[in-house]
Amino acid sequence: MRKKLFFAAIAILAATVCVQAQNSRIVEEGGSGSYKAIMMEEPTLTTHTVFRPQDLSKFNKENPLPVIVWGNGGCANSPSGHINFLNDVASQGYLVVAIGPSNYRQAEAPRPGQTGDVPRMGQGGGMSGGTQGGGMPQMGGQRPQGAPQGGAQGGRMPQMGGQRPQGAPQGGAQGGAQGAGPRMGGMSMGDPAGLKAALEWAIAQNADRESHYYQILDIDNIAAAGMSCGGLQALHMSDDARIKTILVMNSGYFGGEDKASLNRMKQKSVIWILGGPTDIAYENGSDDFKQLSGTMPAFICNLEGIGHGGTYMQPYGGDYSKVATAWLNWWLKDDKESSAMFTGAEPGIGKMAGWSFDRKNIQ
C-alpha cells in the first residue's frame, strides 16, 4: 500500500513538473534585473501571460510587487511580439500581466546580442485589415496606397487620417515587434476588457489566502501600459482611479471624444514613448501630449529612427525597457534615483543616444 502511495505521489509530481515546463519559460536568462524573471501561464488566468520574478519569497507586505497590465500591438491575443521587453521589466521587480496566452513550444526569444525578428507564438497577425506585425489597423480597415497586402510588416499604426509619414519605410524597425497572433476574441479596437480582467485578477490574488501572490502584490501601485492598439487599451483605462500611471507606447488617440477624455484622466501621471517621425503613431501621440492640459505630470519621448516597431524584441527590451522601467520605478516605487531620467535641468534621457523629449508639470 505504501509503495502504491509513493509511486502515485511521484506520478503526480512528475505530471505537475511536466505541466509547469510546458506552461513556463525562462527568457534571456531571466532578464537584466536583480529579480530573475519567468514567463508563465497561471491556472487561474489562462487567458493571459504572466511575467514575474522567479523567487517570490523576496516579496512581502513591506516589499510588495507593483503590478503592470499590458495590451499588445494589434490588440493581439498574445504578447509574443513584446516578450523580451515584458520579461525584462518583470526582472526589475514587477508582476506583469499581459493579454493573451502564449504558445510556449513555437517560439524562442533572441539570445543576448541578437536583434531582429523572432518566430511568432502561434498563427495570426493582428486585426482584420490591420498589420502583420501586430500594429493597429488602418481607419476603416483600409490599407494606405502602396502598402503591402495585410498592412505594414513592421506593425505600424496609422496616423490621423490613416496615412504613413512621407518617406517612412514600409516595414517596421529592426528588432521590433513581429506578428503577435490573433486579436482577443470579441474585442474592438481599444477595448480595455482584457486589461480590466488582468487588474481584477491581480487584486483578487492578493486577497486569496490560497494564492502564492497572497499579500505580496502592491495593489496601490498599478500601471496600465500597451503598444499601438494596446496603448489605446491602456488609455481607455484612464477612468479607473486604481491605475496610478499609464504608459502609451507607439500609440495615441485618433481624435474626437477620445481626445477630449485626456483631460478627464484619473491617473497621477502619463508617458508617451514613441519611435520618432517614422513611427506611424507619432502624430497621434504627439497630438495627445499637446492636447493635455491641467496639472497632471506628463512626459513624451521619441527614439529617433526606430519607427513603430520599437525595441521590444531587442536584447532585454532595448532602450524602451530602460525608459519604461525608470518611469515605473519613479511612479510605482517612489525611486528618486530613477526619477532623474525625467526631471531636472538635464534629464537622464537627454543623455541617451537618439532620444528627444518634452514634459509638462515635471521639474
Q: Are 117 and 313 in contact (CB under 8 A)?
A: yes
Phi, psi angles (nearest 5°) of residue 244: -85, -35
Listed in sequence order, the residues at least 6 apart from 291 whose beta carbon sits closer than 8 Å to its beta carbon are 259, 262, 263
For 264-275, the pLDDT digits (tens) are 999 999 999 999
Confidence at residue 1, expressed as pLDDT on a 0 to 100 scale: 54
* Residue 109 covered by a domain: no
With beta carbons less than 8 A apart as the criterion, state whether 27 and 54 touch: no
110 in a structural domain: no
Question: Cα–Cα distance between 175 and 198 in angstroms, integer?
Answer: 27
- Could you tell me if 96 and 90 are in contact, meaning their C-beta atoms sit under 8 angstroms apart? yes
What is the reported pLDDT for 22?
Answer: 52
User: Which residues have CB under 8 Å from 54's CB, separation 6+?
Assistant: 26, 30, 35, 36, 37, 38
Instruction: State how far Cα 51 lies from the chain centre.
Output: 11
Q: Is residue 85 part of a domain?
A: yes
> Mean pLDDT for each 10-residue chunk of the chain (363 residues)?
49 40 86 98 97 98 98 95 98 99 51 32 31 36 30 35 32 38 53 97 99 98 99 97 98 87 94 98 98 96 98 99 99 98 98 98 97
The residue range of the domain holding 202 is 2-104+115-360
Q: Provide the CATH number for the domain around residue 14.
A: 3.40.50.1820
E runs forming strands in 11-90:
24-25, 37-42, 45-53, 65-71
Cell of 225: 501600459
pLDDT of residue 180: 44
Number of helices and strands (H, E) in the chain? 8, 12
Q: How many domains does the chain have?
A: 1
This prediction has a pTM of 0.77
Q: What's residue 169's pLDDT?
A: 30
Cell of 110: 533572441
Q: Is residue 10 part of a domain?
A: yes
DSSP 146: T
pLDDT score recorded for residue 2: 55
